[in-house]
A and B are shown apart, each in its own frame.
Chain A
Amino acid sequence: MKNNKLKILTNGIIKENPILVLILGTCPFLAVTTQASNAIGMGAAVTFVLLCSNVMISLLRKVISDKVRIPCYIVVIASFVTLVQMIVKAYLPALDVALGLYLPLIVVNCIILGRAEMFANKNNPLDSALDAIGMGVGYTLAMLAMASIREIFGAGTWFGMAVPVLKDNNISIMTMAPGGFAIFGILIAIINKASNGKAIKKKDFSCEGCPSAAVCNGQNCAEKREAAAK
């Protein structure tokens, strides 16, 4: 049983890393990762909201009717985001300026809504809290990795400190949008390679829930099944 709890906690760090494996919440991921300090700030804010909302939704899971669950989740999440926003505005105005619009946008962050839907409404508050912490840490680590690469090579600094040599030889495209997309793709590839493709759940290739099912008539999956069988 204790092992199970540990598994829930570590699930979000690599195996189901919200960004690099589940590919959720990529908009702020690409937008605010130009500086490592922003990544930490954003990661902390998301983790806090995720933890509070997961516990709250888990407590309310028997009260909330299935039909109106999404609006209920949004109300819960929005309350905590407002809280975070007020705290950051009051005590960390510099971070507030740096994160800008992306702080209030945590409300519609897929990770938080996704964990509420996938985990919190089916599990008890303790498990939900552990899941939130794991996911939050995974999110923050992915943010930090991406932001460090972009800041060190793109601007030649790390947490604002100048890195020798690179400071004068920065590759500015790294801090721009194209560099962000490129590094994002490379990070996903590395995680995939490192986990030997096991990070993505081996699903039975079926047409249910596949967006291109209408076009492909199961041809793609037949090929994949053959390849998997080999």
Chain B
Amino acid sequence: MNNMIVSVNPHIYAKDTTQTIMRDVLIALFPAVIASIVFFGVRALLVEVVCVAVAMACEWAFEKITHKPITVMDLSAAVTGLILALNLPAGIPIWQAMFGSFVAIIVVKQFFGGIGQNFANPAITARVIMLVAFSGAMTTWVPAAFSNAPADAVTAATPLAILGAGGTEGLPTLAQMFLGARGGSMGETSCLALLLGGLYLIYRKVISWHTPVAFIGTVLVLTALLGQQPLYQVMAGGLFLGAIFMATDYTTSPPTPAGKLIFGVGCGLITVLIRVWGNYPEGVSFSILLMNILNPYICEWTKTKPFGGVQA
């Protein structure tokens, strides 16, 4: 069963395995990891190492206990752990980061049957659970290096929180936003690093351009129509991280190009709705989670008809 590859026809054999794909994702995340260390210090690296280690340990332990084949070496748990870490503020208590990794792997992934069976992206679900469980620690942002936060500041607001409160003071410049010198989760701030990773993934054909472009494009267009600052909105928050690395998860997003476009537009729509009218300043994680739940329906709507096939 594990050797079966489900994809849109025509079916062509490729040398890709879960392991090579996940290795590519890890390589693509490398610039974001570097950026997180540059802007948030060694503490960021510590959180990342802890999340990856706990995720892999949980995967191994659960599969050992339940006598299932050990899938630690396919690196999917490492990717989940690393993406989760990049979604956390750098100052998160270590035990909370460990709890998040545990929830992602055990509750969201393994309880539903392991790799390929989870109904929602483990990293994003764990992030949302942590946001509800530790709302204080999850929204306490460490000021980034090279940002315009005062030198003695202990915490910093995210650009979206500043905008949400109606202020303009302390807003980073567009260049700072693009490079990543701003408050936020440690892996989401540097659009440049994420973009590099995204281009690598598209070049390696690990992901297609449809979901990220539809997602980011929808946010750009809608915020422009609603009189927000579109460029700012696109670079703020976790949009790039979500659109490139989490909305493109194989298990929880549609396989066809049409389905991917619908998925991306839906994510963008929910993100903008939450950002503009919701109580939370940021809505990327909720939007991906909600679209994950709609995924089976999108797959059903966009099923490709076999060539020469007759509609049943």
A171 nearest CB neighbor, chain B only: B133
Q: Is A176 within 8 A of B132, CB to CB?
A: yes
B146 interfacial contact with A, CB 8 Å: no
The CA of A174 and the CA of B132, in the complex, are separated in Å by 10
B290 to chain A, nearest CB (A): 15
Contacts A/B (CB < 8 Å), 14 sampled: A169-B93, A169-B95, A171-B99, A171-B133, A171-B134, A172-B132, A172-B133, A172-B134, A172-B135, A173-B129, A173-B133, A178-B129, A179-B133, A182-B107
The CA of A86 and the CA of B288, in the complex, are separated in Å by 50
Interface residues of A in 164-198 (CB under 8 A from B): 169, 171-174, 176, 178-179, 182
The CA of A171 and the CA of B95, in the complex, are separated in Å by 11
A156 to chain B, nearest CB (A): 13
> Which residues of chain A are within 8 angstroms of B95 by Cβ–Cβ distance?
169
B-side interface mostly: helix
Contact with A along B105-130 (1 / 0, CB 8 A): 00100000000000000000000010
A19 to chain B, nearest CB (A): 20
The CA of A169 and the CA of B95, in the complex, are separated in Å by 9
The CA of A173 and the CA of B131, in the complex, are separated in Å by 9
B66 nearest CB neighbor, chain A only: A193
- Seed contacts A171-B99, A171-B133; 13 additional CB < 8 Å A-B pairs: A169-B93, A169-B95, A171-B134, A172-B132, A172-B133, A172-B134, A172-B135, A173-B129, A173-B132, A174-B133, A178-B132, A179-B133, A182-B107
A223 to chain B, nearest CB (A): 15
B36 to chain A, nearest CB (A): 24
The CA of A181 and the CA of B109, in the complex, are separated in Å by 17
> Which residues of chain A are within 8 angstroms of B93 by Cβ–Cβ distance?
169
Contact with B along A139-178 (1 / 0, CB 8 A): 0000000000000000000000000000001011110101
Give the contact-size bracket for chain B.
under 10
> Which residues of chain A are within 8 angstroms of B107 by Cβ–Cβ distance?
182
A174 nearest CB neighbor, chain B only: B133
The CA of A143 and the CA of B158, in the complex, are separated in Å by 42
B193 to chain A, nearest CB (A): 31
B202 to chain A, nearest CB (A): 36
A181 to chain B, nearest CB (A): 11
The CA of A199 and the CA of B114, in the complex, are separated in Å by 26
B32 to chain A, nearest CB (A): 27
Contact with A along B93-104 (1 / 0, CB 8 A): 101000100000
> Which residues of chain B are within 8 angstroms of A172 by Cβ–Cβ distance?
132-135
> Which residues of chain B are within 8 angstroms of A171 by Cβ–Cβ distance?
99, 133-134
The CA of A69 and the CA of B93, in the complex, are separated in Å by 58
Question: Which of B95, B99, B133, B134 has the largest number of chain A CB atoms within 10 A?
Answer: B133
The CA of A182 and the CA of B125, in the complex, are separated in Å by 13
The CA of A179 and the CA of B107, in the complex, are separated in Å by 12
B185 to chain A, nearest CB (A): 19
A111 to chain B, nearest CB (A): 27
Contact with A along B67-100 (1 / 0, CB 8 A): 0000000000000000000000000010100010
> Which residues of chain B are within 8 angstroms of A174 by Cβ–Cβ distance?
133
B99 nearest CB neighbor, chain A only: A171
Contact with A along B277-296 (1 / 0, CB 8 A): 00000000000000000000
> Which residues of chain B are within 8 angstroms of A169 by Cβ–Cβ distance?
93, 95
The CA of A179 and the CA of B132, in the complex, are separated in Å by 10
The CA of A176 and the CA of B135, in the complex, are separated in Å by 13
> Which residues of chain A are within 8 angstroms of B132 by Cβ–Cβ distance?
172-173, 176, 178
> Which residues of chain B are within 8 angstroms of A179 by Cβ–Cβ distance?
133
The CA of A174 and the CA of B107, in the complex, are separated in Å by 14
The CA of A161 and the CA of B129, in the complex, are separated in Å by 26
A205 to chain B, nearest CB (A): 22
B98 to chain A, nearest CB (A): 12
The CA of A176 and the CA of B95, in the complex, are separated in Å by 20
The CA of A130 and the CA of B99, in the complex, are separated in Å by 43
B68 to chain A, nearest CB (A): 15
A153 to chain B, nearest CB (A): 10
> Which residues of chain B are within 8 angstroms of A182 by Cβ–Cβ distance?
107
Contact with B along A45-77 (1 / 0, CB 8 A): 000000000000000000000000000000000
